[in-house]
């Protein structure tokens, strides 16, 4: 019998798994995907908003402000990327300046640092700002993280401390018995006292397995372009237009690895459809023109889209089931879900889990050891690494300069990468200009060797995504 | 009967019309810009041939496949027979460039030869 | 720090040819740095024939062509490192490379030759709409998987782009038992060599859809369906022309781009059209002592041309090392109407010998003339029967013709 089953290994599920692993509990995390952070956490803007945007009195406003303040400490502890690059919300006319004033008001009330900037000062820091921009608010504490790395690091530490992680299995039924539940996947039936429904876009489906879902999710698709590192000077801060009812608008966002993201649009879609469309990307192009100029589209190396599970009233839905208080629904976690995630976890534990279970701290809690990242070392440190393990000196990905051994490390880490995409998320081969044209085969060969499976059986992502078949059999 | 072909001798890509009689003798080639086109048309219509390049499995070498080719052009309609034959071949390193892998493959009169050398390879 | 006369980055055909020629012209201390586990570069996966007629007077496959160069490199005792990646180069020609044995090493070279080839334009660069699932490969990636690793990436295949690698892969996959349902090309003409259209597509009854592009890719875990549509002159979709193909694989053969990631740290200027470095008549980049050749400079049609160009560059490098005189680049070379790019982009004021200009036209031309202009004065006019964007054109100007130029040099093409 488990104490808790968390359904969903996105950023929220990972924070909960991590935070709950500090207590003497038996915790299992289940996700239908083949890797951690493969749904909503896979594709978003990677921004830790400071929390000036959500309306007063919402759960979003409370948890966003709290969550954003928790990140620096967490990222330091886990030794993961966190960059306070700051953000400019820019206005192009008088109407928009009025909205800036509202934001400034809200920020002041919430103790979020914010100050006005006139055009002259904006241009000094951002040469590619659009000619129409007349005023801005700078939010110096807005930060960026590397969401996959964050979720994976959290889950790794959870797994080291005894959390059971089941990937690639879909929950299709939940039975309620006297005092406990049984969660069914294709392969397993798991008994548990408490269920946390952190299934992101799938949360409503999970809720419907228990009751008529008390919340309704609409999928909102956002499409993005990614610019190569050659374009990394294009903007230095996150550049936002003023927010509208529809959302935060189309942004230009630096990433922690020196790329730039352009997007997203926001389109309601019927199914969990992750395709990009020429109309969607055209929309991104058109709306970007309002806030920035000289956009280096020749440096586009990829486009992608992400789904946001949006609720009816615009707020998160975080409540126990009406039927049984031992099921806690985390529905409608759209933006600012990433920024709020640590606070969501703390809130759920404090408000609900404590009422269902006794939380006794573990006697011994083991810290995760972060894998070496060769690119972050100086030449002497690099050479020391190569001396102890020569394969740190064999470069597999030319564009991102990723070594063979870093990929091997990722495969054999606590939540080891089992697919080409999982390697990409952890160590980034194929994230450069050639987009894996050269190194994807090498990565597949390393997976084949380390996992001891034939090359043709190496998976790109989900099951049935294997590389191919042997053309000429032995 | 008139047959049409695109000449592949040079980048111009002349569209050739070839008049043939019932005995498949070529009476007239038109559309060509030079004599090479006429020569190409005759060859291509009467007995189309291709050099075939492919791979065979090899053990103990730097790669699992050895590139091979026919040492002269083989009849176009024999290509898939030769491909089938290549699937059965298994060899061991070392191999030298132009070593014969299969003699007179599928009775085409052509040999399958190694396109490159492959030494014994020990690493990994 | 170790000193080297000529460091060659890349051990493919360009790097080997340049190194061999530098050696032949008197340079002793040469080092080739190669990322792969053997010399030969991309040639090793191009197992088809059609190479070698210009350089070796016989028809060779890619690996055979590479074999000949590798044998020469070994016979000439030219030093090389395999599985070695160059991390950076600087203006003063310091190279930092890394491999398993030596770790991170910095060496100083008198001259550097960039011969690191090119990479394939991929889906990201052309923003093909649709899902991002398994089953979308560049043609070169599928070629390496099949020819080197024995992996057939799919059974039902569609190819976008009629570049030669795409055509070659259509045939290869058909021969290995896959079905290729079609090739779409956004331009109204093919970008591949005519013989590849005939021998790779027509031989296997594979349809070629000109003026068509991919407008959607669908599938859950891997590609299941693609949709193509006809485009108008402005490459905009013509509604109602959509056509679905149920395939498990989409190959992209949409062009090659010179690999220039090392140029940034050295401050080498690039050409917006070739995407490779700007060079003068001696193939020297904007940084003195750093040269470029082969597909790292501009994309070639055939390895024979890469080899011939690189041999020339190897000689220039050798000559310049033995007696280097800096002459400021005074004459700029520009493409005018009809011409996509011209190379070299700059000329020394007093060239020491004839110069061959490489260029590509921007559309197919019949019965036309190529003119070289100094200001408004035509200094050379060459008649051409047929020119295609897929074929790199080469025209040589004599030493005197160049040394009399007083303004700059422009190249234009017009139909007669």
From CA A400, how far away is CA B19, in angstroms rounded? Answer: 60
Instruction: Tell me, yes or no, whether A47 lies in a domain.
Output: no
**A244 bridge partner residues:** A247
pLDDT in tens, C360-412: 999 999 899 999 999 899 999 999 988 888 889 999 999 999 888 888 999 99
**A190 bridge partner residues:** A183
pTM confidence score: 0.94
Averaged pLDDT, C286-298: 97
Residue A318 sits in a domain of what CATH number?
A: 3.50.50.60
Whether residues A128 and A254 share a domain: the answer is yes
Whether residues A239 and A136 share a domain: the answer is yes
The residue with greater pLDDT, A143 or B42, is A143
> CA of B97 to nearest chain C CA: how many angstroms apart?
7
Main-chain phi, psi angles of C71, to 5 degrees: -60, -40
B85 and chain A in contact, CB less than 8 A: no
Q: Note whether C385 contacts B117, CB cutoff 8 Å.
A: no
Whether residues A224 and A298 share a domain: the answer is yes
**Could you tell me the two tokens for A397?**
């990905």
For residue B57, the chain C residue with the least C-alpha distance is C150
Tell me what percent of the residues of chain A surpass a pLDDT of 90.
91
**Could you tell me the two tokens for A450?**
């380390």
The number of beta carbons lying within 10 Å of the beta carbon of residue C113 is 30
From CA B22, how far away is CA B24, in angstroms rounded? Answer: 5
The pLDDT assigned to C327 comes to 66
Residue C171 sits in a domain of what CATH number?
A: 3.50.50.60
Q: What is the CATH number of domain B53-114?
A: 3.10.530.10
Residue that finishes a domain, picked among C197, C231, C254: C254
Averaged pLDDT, A381-394: 97
Q: For Cα atoms A112, A117, A123, give the angle at the middle one, nearest 5 degrees.
A: 130
Q: How far apart are the first and last CA of chain A?
A: 47
Residue that finishes a domain, picked among C307, C326, C345: C326
Main-chain phi, psi angles of A206, to 5 degrees: -65, -45
Whether residues C185 and C127 share a domain: the answer is yes
Averaged pLDDT, A431-439: 89
The pLDDT assigned to C403 comes to 86
**Could you tell me the two tokens for A92?**
């192009």
Whether residues C214 and C317 share a domain: the answer is no
Alpha carbon C126 to its chain's center: 18
From CA C51, how far away is CA C288, in angstroms rounded? Answer: 33
Residues A88, A122: contact at Cβ < 8 Å?
yes
Q: Note whether C127 contacts A379, CB cutoff 8 Å.
A: no
Q: What is the b/e burial string over A281-315, where b = at least 16 CB atoms within 10 angstroms of the residue's CB?
A: bebbbebbebbbeebeeebbbbbbbbbbbbbeeeb
Based on the structure, what is the number of domains in chain A? 3
Whether residues A222 and A212 share a domain: the answer is no
Residues C301, C272: contact at Cβ < 8 Å?
no
Tell me what percent of the residues of chain C surpass a pLDDT of 70.
99
The pLDDT assigned to A474 comes to 65
The number of beta carbons lying within 10 Å of the beta carbon of residue A94 is 9
List alpha helices for C76-156, DSSP H.
123-126, 139-147
The pLDDT assigned to C304 comes to 95
Averaged pLDDT, C273-291: 95
Collect all residues from C whose CB is shorter than 8 A from any CB in B: 37-38, 44, 47-49, 59, 61-64, 66-67, 147-150, 175-176, 193-195, 197-199, 202-203, 385-386, 388, 390-391
Whether residues C117 and C191 share a domain: the answer is no
C154 and chain A in contact, CB less than 8 A: yes
Residues A339, A75: contact at Cβ < 8 Å?
no
pLDDT, chain A, mean: 95
Instruction: Tell me, yes or no, whether A427 lies in a domain.
Output: yes
Whether residues C72 and C143 share a domain: the answer is no
From CA A204, how far away is CA A300, in angstroms rounded? Answer: 35
**Maximum C-alpha span of chain C:** 66
For residue B59, the chain A residue with the least C-alpha distance is A474
The pLDDT assigned to C330 comes to 79
**Maximum C-alpha span of chain B:** 62
Whether residues C37 and C110 share a domain: the answer is yes
Q: Among B31, B89, B50, A195, which Cα is nearest to C200's? A: B50
CA gyration radius, chain C: 22
Confidence of residue B7 (pLDDT cuts 50, 70, 90): confident
Averaged pLDDT, C163-169: 93
Range of the domain at A428: 374-457
Question: Looking at the predicted structure, is the pLDDT value of residue C324 above 70?
Answer: no
Question: Looking at the predicted structure, is the pLDDT value of residue C125 above 80?
Answer: no
From CA A282, how far away is CA A268, in angstroms rounded? Answer: 16
Whether residues C81 and C29 share a domain: the answer is yes
Whether residues C241 and C267 share a domain: the answer is no
Whether residues A420 and A305 share a domain: the answer is no
Whether residues C350 and C391 share a domain: the answer is yes
Tell me what percent of the residues of chain A surpass a pLDDT of 70.
100
Instruction: Tell me, yes or no, whether A66 lies in a domain.
Output: no
For residue B87, the chain C residue with the least C-alpha distance is C176
pLDDT in tens, A239-284: 999 988 777 899 999 999 999 999 999 999 888 888 888 889 999 9
From CA B122, how far away is CA C13, in angstroms rounded? Answer: 25
For C253-312, list the strands marked E by DSSP.
256-258, 290-292
> CA of B21 to nearest chain C CA: how many angstroms apart?
23
Helix (H, G, I), strand (E, B) or coil at A191: strand
Range of the domain at C60: 1-121+256-326
Q: Among C115, C155, C360, which Cα is nearest to C255's? A: C360
From CA A234, how far away is CA A288, in angstroms rounded? Answer: 13
Confidence of residue C329 (pLDDT cuts 50, 70, 90): low
Lowest-confidence region among A187-191, C326-330, C395-399: C326-330
Q: Among A15, A21, A30, A27, which Cα is nearest to A161's? A: A21
Q: Is the ipTM of this complex over 0.85?
A: yes
Residues C386, B11: contact at Cβ < 8 Å?
yes
Q: Note whether C49 contacts B79, CB cutoff 8 Å.
A: no
The label of the residue with tokens 């003699």 reads B103
C236 and chain A in contact, CB less than 8 A: no
The pLDDT assigned to C334 comes to 93
The pLDDT assigned to A195 comes to 98
Q: Among A253, A290, A334, which Cα is nearest to A86's? A: A253
Whether residues A278 and A325 share a domain: the answer is no
Whether residues C397 and C356 share a domain: the answer is yes
Main-chain phi, psi angles of C72, to 5 degrees: -65, -40
Residue A222 sits in a domain of what CATH number?
A: 3.30.9.10
Which residues of A participate in catalysis according to the annotation?
Answer: 49
Question: Looking at the predicted structure, is the pLDDT value of residue A285 above 70?
Answer: yes
Whether residues A157 and A302 share a domain: the answer is no
The pLDDT assigned to C328 comes to 67
Whether residues A342 and A320 share a domain: the answer is yes
> CA of B11 to nearest chain A CA: how many angstroms apart?
30
Lowest-confidence region among A85-94, C71-80, C237-246, C315-324: C315-324
Confidence of residue C351 (pLDDT cuts 50, 70, 90): confident
Whether residues A224 and A269 share a domain: the answer is yes
Whether residues A306 and A317 share a domain: the answer is no
Question: Looking at the predicted structure, is the pLDDT value of residue A98 above 80?
Answer: yes
Residue that finishes a domain, picked among C276, C297, C326: C326
pLDDT, chain C, mean: 94
From CA A225, how far away is CA A260, in angstroms rounded? Answer: 8
Confidence of residue B43 (pLDDT cuts 50, 70, 90): confident
The pLDDT assigned to C333 comes to 94
In order, the DSSP letters of C18-34 are: HHHHHHHTT---EEEE-
Averaged pLDDT, A34-63: 95
In order, the DSSP letters of C148-175 are: TT-EE--SEEEEE--SHHHHHHHHHHHH
**Under 8 Å CB-to-CB from A98, ≥6 apart: which residues?**
none
Whether residues A436 and A317 share a domain: the answer is no
Q: Within a 13 Å sphere around the CA of C153, how many CA atoms are in the beta-carbon half? A: 32
Q: Note whether C103 contacts A304, CB cutoff 8 Å.
A: no
pLDDT in tens, C192-242: 888 899 999 999 999 999 999 999 999 988 999 999 999 999 999 999 999
Whether residues A222 and A305 share a domain: the answer is yes
Instruction: Tell me, yes or no, whether A319 lies in a domain.
Output: yes
Residue A433 sits in a domain of what CATH number?
A: 1.10.10
Q: Note whether B116 contacts C63, CB cutoff 8 Å.
A: yes
């Amino acid at each position: 019998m488990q104490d808790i089953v968390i359904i969903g290994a996105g950023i929220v599920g990972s924070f909960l798994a991590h935070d709950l692993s500090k207590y003497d509990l038996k915790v299992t995390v289940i996700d239908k995907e083949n890797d951690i952070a493969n749904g909503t956490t896979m594709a978003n803007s990677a921004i830790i908003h400071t929390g000036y945007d959500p309306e007063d009195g919402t759960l979003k406003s409370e948890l966003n402000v709290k969550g954003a303040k928790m990140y620096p400490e967490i990222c330091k502890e886990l030794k993961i990327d966190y960059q306070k690059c700051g953000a400019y919300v820019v206005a192009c006319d008088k109407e928009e300046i009025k909205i800036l004033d509202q934001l400034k008001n809200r920020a002041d009330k919430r103790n979020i640092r914010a100050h006005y900037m006139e055009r002259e000062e904006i241009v000094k820091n951002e040469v590619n700002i659009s000619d129409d921009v007349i005023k801005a608010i700078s939010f110096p504490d807005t930060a960026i993280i590397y969401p996959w790395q964050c979720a994976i690091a959290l889950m790794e530490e959870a797994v080291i401390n005894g959390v059971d992680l089941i990937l690639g299995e879909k929950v299709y039924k939940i039975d309620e018995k006297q005092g406990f539940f049984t969660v069914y996947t294709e392969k397993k039936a798991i008994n548990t006292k408490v269920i946390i429904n952190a299934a992101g876009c799938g949360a409503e489906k999970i809720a419907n397995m228990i009751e008529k879902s008390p919340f309704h999710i609409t999928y909102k698709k956002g499409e993005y372009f990614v610019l190569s590192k050659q374009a990394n000077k294009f903007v230095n801060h996150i550049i936002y237009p003023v927010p509208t009812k529809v959302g935060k608008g189309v942004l230009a966002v630096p990433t922690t690895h020196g790329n730039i993201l352009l997007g997203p649009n926001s389109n309601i879609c019927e199914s969990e459809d992750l395709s990009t469309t020429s109309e969607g990307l055209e929309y991104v192009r058109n709306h970007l023109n309002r806030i920035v100029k000289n956009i280096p589209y020749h440096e586009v190396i990829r486009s992608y889209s992400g789904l946001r599970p949006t609720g009816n009233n615009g707020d998160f839905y975080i409540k126990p089931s009406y039927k049984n208080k031992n099921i806690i629904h985390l529905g409608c976690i759209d933006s600012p879900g990433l920024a709020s995630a640590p606070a969501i976890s703390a809130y759920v534990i404090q408000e609900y889990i404590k009422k269902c279970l006794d939380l006794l701290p573990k006697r011994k809690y083991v810290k995760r050891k972060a894998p070496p990242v060769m690119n972050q070392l100086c030449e002497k440190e690099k050479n020391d690494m190569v001396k102890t393990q020569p394969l740190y000196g064999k470069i597999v990905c030319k564009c991102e300069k990723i070594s063979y051994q870093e990929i091997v490390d990722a495969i054999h880490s606590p939540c080891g990468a089992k697919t080409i995409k999982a390697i990409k998320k952890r160590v980034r081969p194929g994230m450069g200009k050639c987009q894996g044209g050269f190194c994807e085969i090498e990565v597949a060969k390393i997976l084949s060797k380390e996992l001891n499976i034939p090359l043709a059986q190496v998976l790109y992502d989900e099951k049935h995504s294997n590389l191919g078949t042997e053309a000429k059999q032995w | 009967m008139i047959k049409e072909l695109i000449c592949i001798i040079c980048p111009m890509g002349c569209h050739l019309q070839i008049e043939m009689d019932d005995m498949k003798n070529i009476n007239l080639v038109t559309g060509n810009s030079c004599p090479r086109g006429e020569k190409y048309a005759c060859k291509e219509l009467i007995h189309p041939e291709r050099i075939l390049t492919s791979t065979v499995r090899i053990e103990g070498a730097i790669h699992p496949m050895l590139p091979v080719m026919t040492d002269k052009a083989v009849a176009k309609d024999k290509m898939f027979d030769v491909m089938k034959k290549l699937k059965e071949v298994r060899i061991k390193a070392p191999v030298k460039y132009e070593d014969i892998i299969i003699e007179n493959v599928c009775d085409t009169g052509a040999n399958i030869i190694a396109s490159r050398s492959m030494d014994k390879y020990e690493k990994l | 720090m170790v000193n080297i006369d000529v460091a060659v980055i890349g051990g493919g055909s360009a790097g080997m040819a340049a190194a061999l020629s530098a050696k032949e012209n008197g340079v002793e201390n040469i080092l080739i740095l190669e990322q792969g586990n053997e010399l030969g570069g991309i040639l090793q996966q191009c197992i088809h024939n059609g190479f070698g007629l210009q350089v070796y007077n016989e028809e060779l496959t890619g690996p055979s062509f590479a074999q000949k160069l590798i044998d020469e490199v070994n016979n000439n005792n030219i030093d090389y490192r395999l599985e070695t990646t160059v991390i950076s180069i600087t203006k003063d020609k310091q190279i930092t490379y890394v491999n398993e044995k030596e770790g991170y090493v910095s060496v100083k070279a008198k001259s550097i030759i960039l011969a690191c080839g090119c990479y394939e334009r991929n889906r990201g660069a052309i923003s093909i709409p649709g899902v991002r699932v398994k089953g979308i490969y560049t043609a070169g990636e599928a070629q390496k998987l099949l020819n080197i690793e024995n992996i057939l990436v799919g059974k039902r295949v569609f190819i976008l782009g009629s570049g030669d690698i795409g055509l070659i892969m259509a045939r290869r996959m058909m021969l290995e038992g896959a079905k290729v349902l079609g090739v779409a090309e956004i331009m109204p003409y093919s970008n591949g060599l005519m013989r590849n259209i005939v021998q790779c597509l027509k031989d296997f009854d594979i349809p070629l859809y000109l003026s068509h592009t991919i407008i959607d890719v669908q599938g859950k875990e891997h590609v299941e369906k693609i949709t193509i549509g006809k485009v108008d002159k402005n490459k905009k979709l013509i509604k109602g022309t959509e056509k679905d193909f149920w395939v498990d694989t989409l190959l992209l053969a949409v062009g090659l781009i010179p690999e220039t990631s090392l140029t940034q740290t050295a401050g080498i200027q690039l050409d917006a059209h070739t995407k490779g470095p700007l060079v003068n008549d001696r193939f020297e980049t904007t940084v003195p002592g750093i040269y470029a050749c082969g597909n790292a400079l501009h994309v070639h049609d055939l390895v024979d041309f890469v080899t011939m160009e690189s041999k020339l560059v190897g000689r220039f490098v050798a000559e310049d090392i033995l007696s280097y005189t800096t002459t400021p680049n005074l004459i700029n070379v520009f493409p005018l109407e009809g011409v996509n790019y011209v190379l070299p982009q700059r000329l020394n004021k007093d060239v020491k010998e004839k110069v061959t200009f490489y260029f590509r036209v921007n559309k197919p031309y019949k019965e036309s003339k190529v003119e070289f202009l100094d200001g408004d004065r035509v200094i050379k006019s060459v008649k051409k029967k047929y020119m295609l964007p897929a074929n790199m054109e080469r025209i040589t100007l004599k030493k005197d013709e160049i040394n009399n130029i007083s303004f700059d040099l422009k190249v234009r093409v017009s139909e007669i």
